[in-house]
């Protein structure tokens, strides 16, 4: 599936790739609409419809991922609401062994997430995921998201990874398409980002539903810096 002898740097998405996406899906599709309906005095269905329409308008932009933007739009403290259901934040069940193997192999492991810095901080607080990574980036510090070629240009300029020796892993085909367009050589999709949902069918990229299938390849191909 992957030739680990040619991979020195691994760029990893966070939500759905390292963390179970169930938290985010539950929050944005159910919990926030419920609290929004209570605030506005409208039905849950109306609140869900209103928010879904708004989500669609800003999808793929920095606003979609910005907690400050949604706090302004809903008049609710998004980070405080996230804390109310933070018990749902957890690593994917297969992530720990995968991340430990990557670190032990001598490869550079970098988090690249569209999540707002406050959301990233909360998830680090809950899971201690930062211990697995050499560097962590929220795309908010670059002002654009992974959907944009400008993000990859700015990230590449700052971090200096070799395109032909870099693997990017994400649960979104849109993000993978963007990375491919920029020239990242090795790409891998996660087909089951949400533990409560069925796996997606992904045809355009190699995909996994369990990182354990990669462990032997990683462990048998240490990277000598």
| d(C-alpha 139, C-alpha 117), whole Å | 9
Report the chain's mean pLDDT, rounded to a whole number.
97
In tens, the pLDDT along 59-89 reads 999 999 999 999 999 999 999 999 999 999 9
**Is the C-alpha dihedral spanning 60, 92, 197, 211 positive or negative?**
positive
Predicted pLDDT at 224: 67
Please write down the long-range contacts of 74-80, taking CB distance under 8 Å and 24 or more positions apart: 74/32, 74/36, 74/39, 75/39, 76/32, 76/35, 76/36, 76/39, 78/32, 79/118, 79/119, 79/122
In tens, the pLDDT along 156-175 reads 999 999 999 999 999 999 99
Task: Give Cβ neighbours of residue 44 (< 8 Å, ≥ 6 apart).
Answer: 33, 34, 37
Measured CA to CA in angstroms, residue 68 lies from 26, 75, 88, 118, 176 at distances of: 19, 10, 22, 10, 27
Q: Do 126 and 24 form a contact (C-beta atoms < 8 A)? A: no
Average pLDDT, integer, range 188-199 = 98
In tens, the pLDDT along 12-61 reads 999 999 999 999 999 999 999 999 999 999 999 999 999 999 999 999 99
Average pLDDT, integer, range 190-212 = 97
**Is the C-alpha dihedral spanning 56, 61, 67, 68 positive or negative?**
negative
Task: Give Cβ neighbours of residue 144 (< 8 Å, ≥ 6 apart).
Answer: 62, 150, 151, 154
Average pLDDT, integer, range 108-137 = 98
Average pLDDT, integer, range 195-204 = 96
- Could you tell me which CATH class the domain 4-20+90-219 is placed in? alpha beta
Q: Which helix (H) or strand (E) holds 111?
A: strand 108-113
Predicted pLDDT at 140: 97
How do strand 9-12 and strand 166-170 relate by DSSP bridges? parallel
Average pLDDT, integer, range 219-223 = 84
Predicted pLDDT at 225: 56
Percentage helix, strand, coil, to 5, in the chain? 55, 15, 35
* Residue 10 main-chain phi, psi, to 5 deg: -120, 115
- Provide the residue ranges of all domains of the chain, joining segments of one domain with +: 4-20+90-219, 23-87
* Residue 163 main-chain phi, psi, to 5 deg: -55, -40
Q: Do 194 and 16 form a contact (C-beta atoms < 8 A)? A: yes
Predicted pLDDT at 1: 82
Measuring CA to CA, which residue among 123, 128, 80, 79 is closest to residue 100?
128
Predicted pLDDT at 172: 97
């Amino acid at each position: 599936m992957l030739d680990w002898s040619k991979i020195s740097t691994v760029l990893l998405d966070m939500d759905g790739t390292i963390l179970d996406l169930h938290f985010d899906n539950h929050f944005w599709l159910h919990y926030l609409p419920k609290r929004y309906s209570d605030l506005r005095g409208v039905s849950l269905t109306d609140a869900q419809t209103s928010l879904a329409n708004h989500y669609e308008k800003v999808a793929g932009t920095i606003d979609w991922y910005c907690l400050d933007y949604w706090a302004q739009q809903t008049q609710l403290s998004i980070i405080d609401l996230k804390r109310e259901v933070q018990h749902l934040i957890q690593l994917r069940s297969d992530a720990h062994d995968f991340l430990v193997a990557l670190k032990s192999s001598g490869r550079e492991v970098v988090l690249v997430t569209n999540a707002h810095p406050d959301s990233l901080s909360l998830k680090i607080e809950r899971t201690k995921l930062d211990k697995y990574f050499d560097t962590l980036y929220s795309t908010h510090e670059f002002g654009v998201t992974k959907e944009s070629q400008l993000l990859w240009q700015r990230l590449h300029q700052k971090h200096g990874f070799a395109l032909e020796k870099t693997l990017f892993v994400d649960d979104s085909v849109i993000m993978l398409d963007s990375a491919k367009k920029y020239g990242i050589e090795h790409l891998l999709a996660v087909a089951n980002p949400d533990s409560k949902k069925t796996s997606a069918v992904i045809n355009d990229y190699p995909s996994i539903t369990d990182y354990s299938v990669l462990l032997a390849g990683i462990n048998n191909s240490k990277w000598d810096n």
